[in-house]
Structures are given as C-alpha cells and as structure tokens.
Amino acid sequence: MENNIINKVVVITGASSGLGEATAMHLAERGAKVILGARRVDLLENLVNNISAMGGIADFLQTDVTKKEDVKALVDFAVNNYGKIDVIINNAGIMPIAPMSEIRTDEWDSMIDINIKGVLYGIAAALPYFQKQKSGHIINLGSVAGIKVFSPGGTVYSGTKFAVRAISDGLRHEVGGDIRVTTIEPGAIESELKNSTKHETSSMIVNEFYKQAIPASSVARAIAYAIEQPANVDINEIVIRPTVQEF
C-alpha cells in the first residue's frame, strides 16, 4: 500500500509515554509531522529530540487535556506552524481501578475529565478545521473495557470507555461524509496506564493482569494502518489485545 502518512500533520495527546510515545515515533518514521501534547515537558522534549535525531519532524506544546483551552492551543499551534491538521489522536487516559464501594469519587472525576472530556475537547478543537477543509481524521483511544464491562473494579473506567465508543459512533454518523472517525480499543498493552491504580488490592490484580501485555508499538501499527488508508476508506474500529487475553 502507498504510504498515505507522509507529510500528514498529526496531533497526539498523552504523547509523553506509552501508546502516545510509540505512536509518535512510528508515525514520524513513516513521514508524518507529529505535534505532541502532554503535561510532562521533560519527556516531550526528549521525545522530540529522539524523533529529530532520526530525521523526523516533531514539535510539542505542554497540554492538560482537562483544560479545553490547552487542547485548542495545541491544535491551533499545529495549524499555525504547519499550515494544517490532518489527524488528531485523542490518546490521553487514566485507569484507576477500585471497587465502587470504595467511593473514590476524586478518581471518578479524574476519569471523566480525562477519558471523556479530554476526548471531547480534542474533537472540539480539531473539528472546525476539518469541516473547513472538508477532510480530516479523528482517532479516539477506547478500550476492550468499552466493549465489555471490566468489573469488579473497572466499572467507572468502563463507563468512560463506553462513552468514547458512543461519541465516536455518533460523530461518525454526523460528519462521516468528509471526516473519518476511528476508535482504537486495546487490551493489555505495555504502558503507564496500569500505574494509575492506587487501591492496593486492585493494583495487585491489575499488575498481574498486565503480565500478558504486548508492546505499545502494536497499537502504533494499528493506528498507522487506519491513517494510511485512502481518503474514501474509514476504518471504524480496531480491537487489539494479546492473543492470550480472554477479556
């Protein structure tokens, strides 16, 4: 297949580590210009330096996806510096696992703010540009927990990922004539996601579960596959997990 990634301007949130970092590296290797957003500036600087060292094009802006003005600034930064935006990857997410009976409402709030509102803010920032240019690609990171509820412990997390899937499906129905929408739904992938669980018993379960994890590069390749399709081909969903993972 012809490389349909070269010179595309791709904005990635949650880009400082894990899936975001692996995706940035892979797309830059394929010729994309990647604009990276996350809170940890030191990691972003290091990633941009690594991409530049291999001959790729990358830039970054410190971004907190819970702040819609930050996400808009990231997308505007891409357009102002590179003349356009072709793809936004709404990747930032957290997964603090705990039984609902623990009433960890601060964690619930954080998951809603990052996993749902962060995706919506990414859509809100990119969609006007996409509609104006009558093209674009929105890629939202869901989860297998957005297909089947992960419980006990992951009920609220699953709720946020079910929301991502519903938002993606509805958005595709509304703007699908010109704009592609893809939901990537990973299983156990090696990343920092498991580290967001602070409930002691749940953390032990999560760490055991993630012993079967596959590399973040597995998801990066799936994202690249969706992006490289011709403009008239929209990969709606990709579910990707370890072969040995039952759930």
Tens of pLDDT along the chain (247 residues)? 458 999 999 999 999 999 999 999 999 999 999 999 999 999 999 999 999 999 999 999 999 999 999 999 999 999 999 999 999 999 999 999 999 999 999 999 999 999 999 999 999 999 999 999 999 999 999 999 999 999 999 999 999 999 999 999 999 999 999 999 999 999 999 988 888 888 989 999 888 888 999 999 999 999 999 999 999 999 999 999 999 998 7
pLDDT value of position 2: 56
CA separation for the pair 79, 172 (Å, rounded): 23
Query: H helices then E strands: how many in the chain?
Result: 8, 7
Catalytic residue check, 157: yes
Its sign, for the CA torsion 3, 31, 122, 210, is: positive
Cβ atoms of 223 and 89 within 8 Å: the answer is: yes
Write down the catalytic residue from 82, 157, 210, 225: 157
Query: Model pTM greater than 0.85?
Result: yes
Q: Are strands 9-13 and 237-240 parallel, antiparallel or unpaired?
A: unpaired
